[in-house]
Structure 1
Amino acid sequence: MSGQTVGPPTSRAEQEGMELALELACRGIRGANPLVGAVILDETGRPVASGWHRGAGTAHAEAAALDELGPVTSEQASRLTMLATLEPCSHRGRTGSCAEAIAATGIGRVVHAATDGTARAGGGAEILSRAGVDVVSGLLGAEARLLNHRWIGARAADRPFTSLHLAQSLDGRIAAADGTSQWITGAGSREHSHLIRARSEAIIAGTGTIFADDPRLTARTPAGTAAPRQPLRVVMGHRELPGGAAVAADDHHVQLRTHDPAAVLAALSARGIDHAMIEGGASIATAFLAADLVDEIWLYQAPIFLGAGRHAVGDLGVGTLAEAGHFRFDDAGGPAHQLLGSDVVLHLEPQPGPADRASEHEGTR
């Protein structure tokens, strides 16, 4: 492709700049968008501006770096290099096209780690190349793909990125023997989980949870008021909702009469939803985990023992230790483990497998 190079020749300064861009990307939050960082180098290889994507609806990493750079002349811009962990996007969604913004600035060289290979936002490198920008792809590409391996997999499967919320006792129970479950965890954990709800586009719960707890499935601020942006409330299961159920208080809810997690995510994808959160209960959590459709876990652990009652997760079909599903701590967006009052919250993601490490699939925004 004219004007583009696959596989760098790059300098040591560009290598270090991309390493910094990857570090910055980890400051973002997982969800509807990938983690992306960007760094701008001057002609001596010194970083002069940087940015990262802070979440859906906010400026993309490249746009944030351009904002920090400020006004430059076309001659000055031509001597600059932008490093981005993902190919600058071509599409205009809630934010503008990063590729067009970079081209308009007149930056002379763009190096991106991973190529955007899908129809929604791919093609940014071609836009830049046509504008006369020197474009290089592949610098630290494997690292960039691993950073977003579950998000890339979700996009490749045309489904929402899916988070799982678990609030449990030390012995893995989500309810006592008599069914009571409010509240196993403390106020700090609940406040934190509402922050995750507020950035999700849909919250999923099973009919069993609706009958047992009558949850509202809304997102609230730390002050207890309704968050400005509310996720779609999704009930999964065949039973008719009870009259007056809190989840059905208005039209911003839907019941999907299936027990198939893949079918639920397909239905949500058809509605344009890119980030879903599983709120409860154990049967739903088990179904999504068994189908390998959980992309991150927020595990809230209370310092109590219940001894009996409902387990957080049921039978996953694991017959021997070698078949166990492996997760790892995830520091994206903050520490992977933190103390909230007397509770501990863990942020986890599935351990990448050989296919993730060798994958040539790329993502989009």
Structure 2
Amino acid sequence: MMSTTIEEAMRAALALASRGVKTGPNPRVGCVILSPDGTVIAEGWHRGAGTAHAEVDALSHLVDDAARGATAVVTLEPCNHHGRTGPCTEALIAAGVARVVYAVADPGHASGGGAARLRDAAIDVVEGVLADEATAFLHGWLTAMTLRRPVVTLKWASSLDGRAAAADGSSQWITGTAARQHVHERRADADAIVVGTGTVIADDPSLTARGDAGELLPHQPVPVVVGERAVAATARVREHPHALIEARSHDLDAVLADLFKRGIRSVFVEGGPTLASAFVRAGLVDEFLVYLAPVLLGGDRLALGDVGVPGIADARRLAVERLEILGDDILLVARPAPAPPAAAAPALSAPSGTDGRTL
């Protein structure tokens, strides 16, 4: 059998990871185990919370001492804690693996530290192989674990002149069917969908993710309503497959912290201008999805209100990731632009009569 390079194995591990579940508290991870001569002898991936992690899944396909002296190639640093399953570090050590190669470090407070544990057990550890590709693949989960809050996607649909509704308040439908179906697919990719009480009162939405024929998609985001007003007992959102979370607060940092504790790692914010503006103003949006329809509405029904920008110098700059054509509409996907590097402080001139040394 032909030997496999470490980079080839890592790309195979990333492909395996993509088979995992997109939602939930756990990352999508893949693992390839190579024999001492570089032959692939096992593969595995994580299938969701409570199931075997990728390394353990791969090891489960081997018998006796088949992993002794082998190399485990993993997309994420092996975990080092007891959760629903045991530490992957201990499984690798017990199997007699000689080397572990991983792409990106685990930023988790509890789960991190796997590399150090493996080195303590005299296992050779190599990190950073295809790190850029793995970081892009795990972007949402890594962001959530680093910030200790769910990654936030903010969506709105508007006319080309930035209006979310006509002068009489009507807004169905600004965009066409292709754009609306794309929204439902993005809902299904999130752990939770977040709206404000104003949206619930005005529109009585179900907050479900549905297919072309109106059927419920296999994964449904948990509905979250933010605001101090109670949601009516007859509201359609109470018929959602998941129990409604009522976040009786306007403190968005606290709301997101609570959702993170509940295991929610991604939220899809689909409220009206008030909630959308609040998320932008607080600097809590990680991804923008803006659906632009080729219509002009005029008036004052803007998609965003005050976002804390008193002047052009304070504008919240975005970096456009991509544009997509959806029927007659345009989807713009953007992220907050990185802050420009700080300007270097000007060198101080030495006072006359000194030798220029620091005083």
SS in 2 for 1:200: coil
Larger radius of gyration: 2
Aligned in 2, Cα 1:81/1:266: closer, same or farther, shift over 3 Å? same
Once residues 108 and 236 of structure 1 are traced to their aligned partners in structure 2, the CA distance between those partners, rounded to angstroms, is 51
Once residues 211 and 337 of structure 2 are traced to their aligned partners in structure 1, the CA distance between those partners, rounded to angstroms, is 32
Residue 264 of structure 1 deviates from its aligned partner by: 1.5
Alignment of 1:182 with 2:172, yes or no, is yes
TM-score, length of structure 1 as denominator length:
0.72
Q: Structure 1 stretch 114-123 or stretch 142-151: which is displaced more? A: 142-151
Once residues 112 and 236 of structure 2 are traced to their aligned partners in structure 1, the CA distance between those partners, rounded to angstroms, is 41
Q: Structure 1 stretch 297-306 or stretch 243-252: which is displaced more? A: 243-252
Residue 205 of structure 1 deviates from its aligned partner by: 0.6
Query: Paired residues, what number?
Result: 335
What's 1:113 paired with?
103
Between 1 and 2, higher relative CO (CA 8 Å, sep ≥ 6) is seen in 1
Amino acid at match of 2:261: A
Amino acid at match of 2:317: G
What's 2:161 paired with?
171
Which of 186, 190, 193 aligns to 1:200? It is 190
What's 2:147 paired with?
157
What's 1:325 paired with?
317
What's 1:350 paired with?
336
Pairing of 1:32-51 with structure 2 (within 5 A)? 32-34=25-27, 38=31, 40-41=33-34, 43=36
Render the CA deviation track for 1:295-338: whole Å, top value 9, x for unaligned: 22333333333233522222322322564332341xxxxxx443
SS in 2 for 1:280: coil
Aligned in 2, Cα 1:198/1:147: closer, same or farther, shift over 3 Å? closer
SS in 2 for 1:283: helix
Once residues 186 and 93 of structure 1 are traced to their aligned partners in structure 2, the CA distance between those partners, rounded to angstroms, is 45
SS in 1 for 2:148: coil
Aligned in 2, Cα 1:342/1:136: closer, same or farther, shift over 3 Å? same
Residue 278 of structure 1 deviates from its aligned partner by: 0.7
What's 2:112 paired with?
122
Once residues 140 and 190 of structure 2 are traced to their aligned partners in structure 1, the CA distance between those partners, rounded to angstroms, is 16
What's 1:226 paired with?
216
What's 1:302 paired with?
293
Pairing of 1:181-330 with structure 2 (within 5 A)? 181-242=171-232, 244-249=234-239, 252-318=243-309, 319-321=311-313, 323-329=315-321
Residue 262 of structure 1 deviates from its aligned partner by: 1.1
Once residues 237 and 17 of structure 1 are traced to their aligned partners in structure 2, the CA distance between those partners, rounded to angstroms, is 48
Amino acid at match of 2:100: V
Once residues 197 and 114 of structure 1 are traced to their aligned partners in structure 2, the CA distance between those partners, rounded to angstroms, is 27
SS in 1 for 2:298: coil
Identity rate, percent: 48
Question: Is contact 2:14-2:30 (8 Å) kept?
Answer: yes
Amino acid at match of 1:324: R
Once residues 304 and 171 of structure 2 are traced to their aligned partners in structure 1, the CA distance between those partners, rounded to angstroms, is 15
TM-score, length of structure 2 as denominator length:
0.73
Render the CA deviation track for 1:190-248: whole Å, top value 9, x for unaligned: 22222222232221111221222111112224442234543332211233445632223
Question: Is contact 1:174-1:309 (8 Å) kept?
Answer: no
Which of 339, 346, 349 aligns to 2:325? It is 339
Aligned in 2, Cα 1:144/1:290: closer, same or farther, shift over 3 Å? farther
Q: Pairwise CA RMSD of aligned residues?
A: 4.0
